[in-house]
């Protein structure tokens, strides 16, 4: 067996051995546990997002923050947040694995999380390329399409960036509806995307499909709230705008990701890390309903 195969098996064994109390996995319990799965994957010129997951983890458990979400969920409750560890993406890439095979490895690494009912994946990036294998895994595991709520300053409606098709969420294999709640108006957008964020909560996402996948690119926020991103776009959403969209969304959220936080461009006191951690906390509350 190849080195990649051995590493894949080792990871899956680690994932299966996650410290999840058996009583929480029994049917009839709260149907969701957040699985904070780190996929470090970055191909853009600014490599900083690859270092984001540990910074977000640190900020989540920072002593200066609340342990509860705004909806009253306690992060110390494993039914709300269970960290199942990392996918060793960089190690796999170092073995010479191409993009197609790497995406397959990531997809197959996400699926075991969903097998442990009530676990659902909340993935930390990394850049936006992680959305492709995660959406694919979620759709395949649920047996049908999901709607995607995509918060981003750049709708990523192109099908490749600098030769890398996986850098764009637009190529996610999925037949659900797409709501791109973009902060910046784009006049030449494809008609398949809805770019008006203030209508986001009025869309009936999740009806007729297997649920809703939320993808939050941190650069959807105005730089005054989140300066630590690779591609700054002034005039973005306020942090409360984003939280209102999440809190008001009436749908079954089956998975999510938070991507494109770049610690190398953050403030000295880690302002954007705290913002990303807050997004993760509120997403756990949304998923654990």
Q: Determine the angle formed by the axes of helices 131-142 and 99-115, rounding to 10 degrees.
A: 50
Cα angle for residues 196, 201, 205 (degrees, 5° grid): 100
CB atoms within 10 A of CB 179: 24
Ordered by start, the domain boundaries in the chain are 49-287
What lies within 8 Å, CB to CB, of 58 at 6+ separation is 273
pTM (whole model) above 0.75: yes
CATH number of 49-287: 3.40.800.10
Annotated binding site for Mn(2+): 128, 152, 154, 156, 217, 219
pLDDT tens series, the chain, 289 aa? 444 344 444 444 544 444 444 554 443 333 344 444 444 444 444 578 888 999 999 999 998 888 899 999 998 888 888 888 888 777 777 788 787 888 888 888 888 888 877 778 999 988 888 888 888 899 889 988 888 888 888 765 555 445 444 444 554 555 555 555 544 433 234 343 334 444 544 556 777 788 889 999 999 999 999 999 998 888 888 899 899 888 888 889 999 999 999 999 999 999 999 999 999 999 999 997 5
Bridge-based pairing of strands 212-217 and 147-152 is parallel
Residue burial 104-135, b: 16+ Cβ < 10 Å; e: rest? ebbbbbbbbbbebebbbbbbbbbbbbbbbbbb
**Residues making up the binding site:** 128, 152, 154, 156, 217, 219
């Amino acid at each position: 067996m190849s080195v990649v195969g051995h590493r894949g098996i080792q990871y899956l064994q680690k994932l299966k051995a996650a410290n999840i109390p058996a009583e929480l996995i029994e049917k009839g319990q709260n149907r969701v546990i957040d699985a904070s799965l780190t996929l470090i994957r970055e191909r853009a010129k600014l490599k900083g997002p690859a270092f984001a997951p540990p910074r977000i983890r640190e900020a989540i458990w920072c002593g200066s923050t609340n342990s509860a979400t705004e909806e009253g969920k306690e992060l110390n409750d494993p039914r709300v947040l269970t960290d199942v560890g990392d996918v060793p993406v960089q190690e796999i890439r170092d073995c010479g694995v191409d993009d197609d095979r790497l995406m397959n490895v990531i997809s197959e690494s996400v699926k075991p999380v969903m097998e442990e009912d009530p676990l659902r994946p909340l993935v930390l990036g990394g850049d936006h390329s992680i959305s492709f294998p995660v959406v694919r895994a979620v759709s395949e595991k649920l047996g049908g399409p999901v709607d995607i709520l995509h918060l981003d300053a750049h709708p990523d409606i192109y099908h490749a960036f600098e030769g890398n098709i996986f850098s764009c969420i637009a190529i996610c294999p999925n037949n659900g509806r797409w709501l791109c709640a973009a902060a910046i108006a784009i006049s030449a957008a494809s008609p398949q995307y809805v770019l008006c964020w203030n209508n986001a909560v009025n869309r009936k996402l999740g009806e007729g499909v297997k649920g809703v996948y939320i993808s939050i690119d941190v650069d959807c926020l105005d730089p005054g709230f989140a300066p630590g991103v690779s591609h700054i776009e002034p005039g973005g959403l306020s942090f409360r705008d984003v939280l209102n969209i999440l809190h008001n969304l009436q749908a079954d959220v089956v998975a999510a990701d938070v991507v494109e936080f770049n610690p190398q461009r953050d403030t000295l006191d880690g302002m954007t890390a705290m913002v990303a951690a807050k997004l993760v906390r509120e997403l756990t509350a949304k998923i654990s309903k």
